[in-house]
Amino acid sequence: MRLFGTNGIREVVGETLTAPFLTRVASAVAAMIEPGDPVVVGWDGRTSSPAFARIASSTLALAGHRVVELGVLPTPAIQFMVPRLHAQLGVVITASHNPPEFNGLKCIGADGLEVARAFEEGIESGVERNVTSRTPYSRIGEVMTDASGAHQYVSAIISHVDANAIAARKPTVVLDCGNGASVVTSPTLLRRLGCRVITLNGQLDGTFPGHLSEPTQANLADLARAVPALGADLGIAHDGDADRAVFVDATGRYVPGEQILTLLARDAVERNHGGLVVTPVSASQSVEDAVRPLGGEVIYTRIGSPTVTHEMLERRAVFGGEENGGVVFPKHQLARDGAMTAAAVLDLLARRRATLAEVLAELPRYTLVKEKVGCPVELREKVLAHVAVALAKDSDRVVTIDGVKAYREGGWVLLRPSGTEPLFRVFAESKDPMRARALADSGLASVRQALRDLDAKS
């Protein structure tokens, strides 16, 4: 039984994700740990999250655990609080950027990192065996609340940047909270940094009425219009659980996540006089181009923040992250952190006394195209095997760290099954935008041909 994808369990509410299902998952989680140190439970702003969180809390308490509920917080804020509350585990009810009909669950270790795959396999085994608690009445745990998470988290971020330098510039920021969990932290953070803050979608609403939760260019059209219309210095947007930050410059130009990753990787390596950067195989070549002249080295991993953060811990990396706006600052915590990313960009601009467009203009320029095509979950492995053969034929080099990445004339294309949705993701990059588009189209064609071939055989 495989329940966990790249970043936790994510399923459609009322279909796979029901109260009995979550009770089974929470029972399996409870069986993985011994009663003793508390278990932290937090959740995002989705309509089902409070109810599912209370199912998780009650199930854990009935198994003998002391539960500390943090309430609605960004996922990185919950991760930040787990070690500070001396908890042995954190349980987060979230589906991150998925559409509103989804919800899910992820587990955080005592060190604040997302748990390793082996722990997830233990939970899956428990669900399959339908483990249940037989804790007697005299050993039932309790459920407590802790409302200090937002304040502690925001204060910690501020300690890692030069708040006075940012405040001296008094930047005007349009902040798109996307009706997600960042509502309870990011507006406060930016105001405490001395910014003039104008919010969009600043009310918590799990139906995401402003736009869908993923901060794509199409979903941030209102932000892109608002920034120049209001004379703001930049725009910042978060996904549903605020572990990512995406930017718009003063002209309203959407800044692809790979450019922010490259900008902050270069800054981290420069300030540390070298060091290791960890990023997935989907990352832009611009990261390597930017850090190598400064004594930096890049290590590539499978896609997914758990893989990146565990590799960063093992390698003592100075920086890491993904091209989707999920960036990791190890001096703060080993977790993708949208609010820390926002503060770090403001800090960099204050130190450089420059605009976002000016610092981005200094970077190696590539075009990274991202596409996706539907693929039934049960066919993912067969499709992957099919496209691996197809891509190998006309490629200079093939990398199979995660999916299939084929280096071809003028760029590369990566095909991999999504770990959170029933689809294949296609990444393609080149310095020539037309070549990047052509590589992406060839990748899409390969997946569609594989689906047709498999359908013909069935």
Q: Rounded distance, CA 274 to CA 251, Å?
A: 33
> Mutual orientation of helices 19-32 and 117-129 as an angle, nearest 10°?
120
Q: Quick one: CA torsion of 178, 144, 127, 307, rounded to 10 degrees? A: 50
Distances in Å between the Cα of 123 and the Cα atoms of 29, 33, 127, 450 are 6, 11, 6, 33
Q: Rounded distance, CA 273 to CA 144, Å?
A: 45
Helix (H) or strand (E) holding 416: strand 411-417
Q: Rounded distance, CA 123 to CA 2, Å?
A: 10
Contact 77, 149 (CB under 8 A): yes
Q: Rounded distance, CA 103 to CA 96, Å?
A: 8
Strand locations in 261-323, DSSP E?
Answer: 275-280, 296-301, 319-321
Q: For residue 144, count other CB atoms closer than 10 A to its CB.
A: 12
Q: Rounded distance, CA 304 to CA 288, Å?
A: 19
Q: Rounded distance, CA 95 to CA 79, Å?
A: 15
For 458, the token pair is: 């069935």
Contact 2, 10 (CB under 8 A): no
Distances in Å between the Cα of 31 and the Cα atoms of 20, 135, 354, 359 are 17, 11, 53, 50
> Mutual orientation of helices 149-159 and 75-84 as an angle, nearest 10°?
90
- Active-site residue flag, 446: no
Phi, psi of 351 (to 5 degrees): -65, -40
Which pairing describes strands 89-93 and 327-329: parallel, antiparallel, or unpaired?
Answer: unpaired
Q: Rounded distance, CA 309 to CA 6, Å?
A: 13
Distances in Å between the Cα of 160 and the Cα atoms of 164, 168, 271, 330, 348 are 12, 17, 13, 11, 12
DSSP string for residues in 206-235: TT-SSS-SS--TGGGHHHHHHHHHTT-SEE
Q: Say which of 48, 49, 96, 418 is annotated catalytic.
A: 96
Q: Which residues are known catalytic residues? A: 96
